[in-house]
Structure 1
Amino acid sequence: MEDCCQVPAHKVQADSLICPVCQQRGKSVLLITLKALLTPSGLSTLTPSASYSFCSNSDCEVVYFVDGQVFNRDAVKVPVYQKDQGSGVPVCYCFGWTRERLVKAIRDDENPVQHISEQVKANRCGCEVNNPQGSCCLGNVTAFVHSLKQS
């Protein structure tokens, strides 16, 4: 299995990375991410030869898209951090760091970023199959923790 925190080497045309609903630029995701996270009904319409993208716009229902096809939030097995503001939603999908758990950790003067970094260095993450964005969550966790410390 690839290291989930490395950038994949494949390239996709720039125009195929624009969400057809919100017009925001998406991010290319590996097919394994969709195979792991789509519901059975979503998976049954997947085009394995297509290069899908992830839409991170919190105001858009689309999670994955490719030419003429979209998978909305309801086609994904897990809540999507960027699209669901719930306290129980994972920020780190591999190690169970929800917004609620991160808030408690910061209050208790713990360092969740260090914990996750140690797990990543030990090659224990599986972001490509656990995280709907298909890549390492450390940036999301760091930004969320930073915002907590600022408030």
Structure 2
Amino acid sequence: MQNHICGAGLSDRPGEPCPCCGTPGLPVNVITVSSLVIDEILPRITGDSYHLCTSPECPVAYFDGSSNVVEEKDLKVPVWFKKHTGPVPVCYCRGVTDREILAHIEKGCCSSLSDIQRHTGANTGKECLTRNPAGR
């Protein structure tokens, strides 16, 4: 089974398993991890190969090939597919949440993807590598 995070599936071979839950991880660039961790955690980001844990229930956000894990609580932004009670980011580059998009739809100003993009700016940014936890 493949995981699909932000439209980017894992390769045909499973990713490294999360050391906490065993779920195959999505490979991410170290610049993504470095850009999103809080300052206190940044010195721990020393590896060159990281994975994003794709389990919604697991507290781990990133892990490397050794025992280094970064929990979601150590990030500057929430991971959109993890369980949350607040607004969920849809577009990290433009800071658009699910609630903002829903509000535009409920107001009647948006009835298509192009309307939503025009009104909110969602999916129009170019900074996914450093702003989206999946790096895509």
Query: What's 1:20 paired with?
Result: 19
Post-superposition Cα deviations, 1:50-102, rounded to whole Å, max 9, x if no partner, equal 20000121100000011211100121111221224234231211122212112
Question: What is the RMSD computed on CA atoms of the aligned residues?
Answer: 2.6
CA contact (8 A) 2:27 2:51 kept: yes
Measured in 1, the distance between the counterparts of 2:87 and 2:25 equals: 25
Query: What's 1:38 paired with?
Result: 37
Quickly say closer, same or farther: Cα 1:127–1:76, change in 2 above 3 A: same
Higher strand share: 2
Query: What's 2:28 paired with?
Result: 29
Measured in 2, the distance between the counterparts of 1:90 and 1:77 equals: 12
Quickly say closer, same or farther: Cα 1:112–1:131, change in 2 above 3 A: farther
Q: CA deviation at 1:34?
A: 1.0
Aligned-residue sequence identity (percent) comes to 31
Quickly say closer, same or farther: Cα 1:72–1:105, change in 2 above 3 A: same
SS of corresponding position for 2:90: strand
CA contact (8 A) 1:89 1:99 kept: yes
Quickly say closer, same or farther: Cα 1:34–1:108, change in 2 above 3 A: same
Post-superposition Cα deviations, 1:14-38, rounded to whole Å, max 9, x if no partner, equal 5762111111111110111111101
Length-normalised TM-score, structure 1: 0.68
- The alignment covers a number of residue pairs equal to 121
Structure 1 unmatched runs, 5+? 136-151
**Residue of structure 1 aligned with 2:52, choices 51, 54, 61:** 54
Report matched runs for 1:119-138 at 5 Å: 119=124, 124-135=125-136
Detail structure 1 runs of 4+ shifted over 6 Å in the superposition: none
Structure 2 unmatched runs, 5+? 1-5
CA contact (8 A) 1:21 1:62 kept: yes
